[in-house]
Amino acid sequence: MTTKKFVLPQLYFSKLMRAITEFELIEEGDKILLGISGGKDSIFMAYAMAMMQKRLKKNFQLQALTINPMFSEDFDTERIRGFMEELGIPFASFPVDIAGTIENQGGKDPCYTCAFFRRGAVNRYAKEQGCNKVAYAHHHDDAVETFFMGLLYSGQLHTFTPKTYLDKMDLTVIRPLVYFREAEIREAIQYHGFEPVPSPCPYDGHTIRQKVKDLIQEISQDNPQLYSHLAAAMRQDAIGELWAPAKTRKEMQKQYFSYMYGKQQ
């Protein structure tokens, strides 16, 4: 039985409720697996979801899973386990050799490799446990940075969604912290009383995401509205005038001959 006393400012509770209500993240009978890294974001998410389990008039279950990516030998999963026990959330952890996989990738993006194998392990465990949803602690800054990264590095306008159905796995991914700024979560540490486990990732602070995060901060010094503009651009109703998709040579062939020879072939 948990003895944890849940305390959260009304503003933070309202942000949680807005996400849960707007995107219908929690439903009666849900069995939700929480992806817990041990960092500030996922620990706060576990705390917030445990609080919601007590406050909402919905019957749903929570479980937590930590993947040990084997980047170091001193990754403290036992401290995470102890905190989950305080929250009354069943907890499991097992290793996945993500470090070794990255080493054998021959220079490919380590973040993509890590995310791919971590998600795969979490999804498989969720199915084994009979869960119908997986919750991740991505916050608003993560969404904005992902949107900006897509524009800069792939030429596409996209980001993750607050609720995503994975048809191949028959799982729904939810992100209840999407209306929290990262600074708010950093401040919220004082409410759950858990010192986050340091990230074991050797690439932490040296990723493309970190570059984009720094770029947003730099440009914001001259344009304080940059972040809010990027956030607004993530919405589907923000699309304005854009060029049509590029035509193929075959699609342009008739018109080409018309211009060149005065007739269409």
pLDDT of the residue at 29: 97
pLDDT of the residue at 40: 94
Is the pLDDT at 264 greater than 60, yes or no?
no
Poorest-pLDDT segment among 58-72, 106-120, 142-156, 158-172? 106-120
Q: Are strands 61-68 and 171-174 parallel, antiparallel or unpaired?
A: unpaired
Contact 27, 60 (CB under 8 A): yes
What are the sequence ranges of the domains in the chain?
A: 10-204
Structure letter (DSSP) for residue 96: -
Segment 29-50, tens digit of pLDDT: 999 999 999 999 999 999 999 9
pLDDT of the residue at 27: 97
Vertex 119 angle, CA 113 and 123, to 5°: 150
Per-residue confidence band for 265, with pLDDT thresholds at 50, 70 and 90 = low
In CATH terms, the superfamily for domain 10-204 is HUPs (3.40.50.620)
3-class SS shares of the chain: helix, strand, coil, % to 5: 50, 10, 40
Q: Which residues contact 192 (CB under 8 A, 6 or more apart)?
A: 43, 44, 47
